[in-house]
Amino acid sequence: MPGLIVFGVRNAHKLNWVSTLDHEAGTRVSRNFKHADYAAAINTVLDQVRKEGRYREFADIKRQCGNYPTATRYTDGETSAVTVWCSNDYLCMGQHPDVIAAMHAAIDEAGAGSGGTRNISGTTHYHVELEAELADLHGKQSALVFTSGYISNQATLSTLAKILPGVVILSDEMNHASMIEGIRQGRGDKRIFRHNDLADLERQLGEIDPSRPKVIAFESVYSMDGDIAPIHGICDLADRFDAMTYIDEVHGVGIYGPRGGGISERDGAADRIDIIEGTLADGRIYRRYSAAG
Ligand SMILES: Cc1ncc(COP(=O)(O)O)c(C=O)c1O
C-alpha cells in the first residue's frame, strides 16, 4: 500500500482528489476522494494547529448571580470557583436588579427567543424600540443592532466598501481586529495612518485622488492603551477632504458624555461623525450596534 499524502490542507475545499506516492515507481498517482479522506484532511489541519500551539480549549464556566465576579469552573467532572476579571460585563450590569426584572418581564410577555431572524419572522419590537433609543442617544437617524461588536464592525465596514465604488478607507494603525477584518472583506483600497497622528492622516488624504470616496475609520478610546482619538481634528480633516467618518465607541458608550453617548458626545463631536459603532455601556450585557445619520 503506497503511503498516503494529502495535499493542500490549508485549502481543503479545493481538494477533489487524493494524490498518493507510489514508492516503487517513485511517481504520484491520483484516486477519487473517498469519504474517509475528509476526516483525514480535517485531522491533518487540527494536528498542525495543535503543533503550532493555536488549538483553543475554552474555559467551561457559569457565572454566579449575586457573587460577581465569581464563576463556577467545570473541569473533568470537578467544579471550582474562579474570579473572572476579563468579562465585558465590567460594571456588573448583567446582575443589576432593574436589568434582570426587565428581562423577566419581557420573557413573561413575549416568551423566550426571537422566533427567527428579521428576514423570516420580523424584527422583535423590543429591538425596534432599542434601535430608536440608540439613534437618539447619538443624535442619528437610525441604528441597527447586531449580535456582537465584531460583527457590527465587520458588516458595516465591508458593506460601506462595497457600496462606495473606488473607496479608500483610511484606518488608524491601532484599530480593532474587527474593523481590520471588515475593511479587508470590503476589498476596497486601504491606507493605514499612524496612530492618532493628524499630520500623517492629512498627508495621506492629500495623496488620494479627490474624485475618490474616502472613509476615515478610527476608535474613540483605544482598548490596549486607553488613549483617546483627536475626534475634532479628524473631523476637520474629513471636512477639508470630503471624507466620511466612522468611529468605534465600544469603550466610550455608557462611560463618557452627559447621556453616555461616548467620547464623541463628551467632546460635542457626535454630529460630525457619520457612523458610530458602539455597545450598550461597558457593562456590555446586550448587543452591539451601528448608528448612522
Ligand atoms: C474597540 C473594540 N471594538 C470591537 C470589539 C468587538 O466587540 P465584541 O467583543 O462584542 O465582539 C472590541 C472587543 O472588545 C473592541 O475592543
pLDDT tens column, 241-290: 999 999 999 999 988 999 999 999 999 999 999 999 998 755 443 345 66
Name the pLDDT band for 23 (thresholds 50, 70, 90): low
Q: Which of 151, 176, 179, 247 to mutate to test the pocket of ligand 1 (most atoms within 8 A of CB)?
A: 176
Q: How far is the CA of 249 from the centre of ligand 1 (A)?
A: 9
The closest-lying atom of ligand 1 relative to the alpha carbon of residue 151 is 11
Range scoring the smallest mean pLDDT among 70-79, 90-99, 175-184: 90-99
Q: What is the 3-state secondary structure (H, E, C) of 40-66?
A: HHHHHHHHHHHHCCCCCCCCCEEECCC
Segment 107-144, tens digit of pLDDT: 999 999 888 899 999 999 999 999 999 999 999 999 99
Q: Which three cell numbers stand for residue 182?
A: 471588515
Share of the chain above pLDDT 70, in %: 86
Q: How far is the CA of 263 from the centre of ligand 1 (A)?
A: 16
Ligand 1 site, residue 282, Cβ cutoff 6 A: no
Ligand 1 site, residue 148, Cβ cutoff 6 A: yes
Q: In Å, what is the CA distance from 1 to each residue of 21, 22, 146?
A: 10, 8, 53
The whole-angstrom separation of Cα 84 and Cα 256 is 25
Ligand 1 site, residue 150, Cβ cutoff 6 A: yes
Q: Is the pLDDT higher at 172 or at 11?
A: 172
The residue-averaged pLDDT of 180-188 equals 96
Name the pLDDT band for 91 (thresholds 50, 70, 90): confident
For β-strands 275-279 and 244-248, DSSP reports them as parallel
List residues bridging with 218 in a β-sheet: 247
Which residue minimizes the CA distance to atom 9 of ligand 1? 149
CB-count burial class (<10 Å; 0-12, 13-18, 19+) for 97: exposed
Segment 63-73, tens digit of pLDDT: 999 999 999 99
**Residue 184 above 80 pLDDT?**
yes
pLDDT for 279? 83
- At residue 118, the 3 state secondary structure works out as helix
